[in-house]
Amino acid sequence: MSDITPDNPRHVPVLLERTVELLAPALAGTDRVLVDATLGLGGHAEAFLERFPELVLVGLDRDPEALRLSAERLARFGDRVRLVHTVYDGIRGALDGLGIARVAGILFDLGVSSMQLDETDRGFAYSRDAPLDMRMDPGSPLTAARILADYDEAALRRIFTQYGEERLASRYARRIVERRVAAPSRPPRNSSRCSSRPPPPPCSASAPGTPRSACSRRCASR
C-alpha cells in the first residue's frame, strides 16, 4: 500500500528553480498554456501554476496513480488544470481532444520517478522481493515477468542490446532461457533473486560499452 499522498508526495522536482527560470519568458502574460508531458506527482506543475496565476496547465501521464495524486494536489487551481491519461508522445492527440491549438511551452522530465521505484508492488526495484511487473501503466497487458517467461533467446538478446546497450546481452539472454527450462513452473521475480551464480567482474563506468542494465546483469549473471 502506497504512503504517498498529495501532502506527502515523497518527491522533490528536479531542477525546479532553473526550469521555472528558463520557461518564465514564454509563460508570462495571458492566454498561456504549458504542457507538462511527464506530470508525475505534480511538483513542477504546482510551482508553475503558483507563479503564473493566469497559466493553464495540461498534464500528461501514463500512470493512473500519478494522475490521481496530482489531481488532488492541483485541485485548488480549478479549471486551470487539464489532466490526460496518455504517453508523452501523445501530446498532439491530447491537445486536440482539449481543443487547444497552441501552447507556450512544453516540459519533459524524463525517466522513472521515485513513485515507481519506491513502491515494491510496482516491481521496478530489483533489490526487493516482488513480482517483476515494471509497467508504467498498470493497465497495460505486458509485464516484465511475461517477457522473461515467454520471449525466446533472440528476442531477449535484442531487448538487452537495443534498450540496455548491454555488451553481455547474449550471455544474459542465454542464462534466462536456461533457468526457464530448469524451473518452468517458477514465476520470475525480482532480478536480485534470479540465480545464485556470482556476478561478472565490475566494469569501469568510463569504459566504452559499459553495461547499463543493472537489472539484466544481476538477473542473468548470478
Note whether 95 and 89 are within 8 A (CB): no
CA gap 123, 30 in Å, rounded: 43
Mean pLDDT of the chain: 82
In this prediction, residue 11 has a pLDDT band, given cuts at 50, 70 and 90, of: low
Q: What is the average per-residue pLDDT within 20-35? A: 96
Closest CA to 48 of 64, 84, 7, 39: 39
Percent of the chain with pLDDT over 70: 75
Per-residue confidence (pLDDT) for residue 130, from 0 to 100: 75
Q: pLDDT for 101-150, tens place per residue?
A: 999 999 999 877 777 777 777 777 666 677 788 888 888 899 888 999 99
pLDDT at 54 exceeding the cut of 70:
yes
**Exposed / middle / buried, residue 90 (Cβ in 10 Å: 0-12, 13-18, 19+):** middle
Q: Structural domains in the chain?
A: 16-114 (3.40.50.150), 120-221 (1.10.150)
- Cα dihedral 95/99/101/106 (nearest 10): -30
Q: Which of 18-27, 105-114, 212-221 has the highest mean pLDDT?
A: 18-27
pLDDT score recorded for residue 136 = 80
104-133: buried (b, 16+ CB within 10 Å) or exposed (e) per residue?
bbbbebeeebebbebbbebbbbbebebbbb
Q: Which of 44, 22, 18, 17 is nearest to 104 (CA)?
A: 22
What phi, psi does 93 have (nearest 5°)? Answer: -65, -40
pLDDT value at position 127? 67
Cell 494522475 sits on residue: 67
Q: Are 100 and 110 in contact (CB under 8 A)?
A: no
pLDDT (0 to 100) of residue 110: 87
The arithmetic mean of pLDDT across residues 175-186, rounded, is: 81
Give residue-wise pLDDT tens across range 182-205: 876 566 655 544 444 445 555 444
User: What is the reported pLDDT for 120?
Assistant: 77
CA–CA separation, 213 and 211 (whole Å):
6
Output the DSSP codes for 138-153.
TTSS--HHHHHHH--H
User: Is 68 in contact with 96 (CB distance < 8 Å)?
Assistant: no
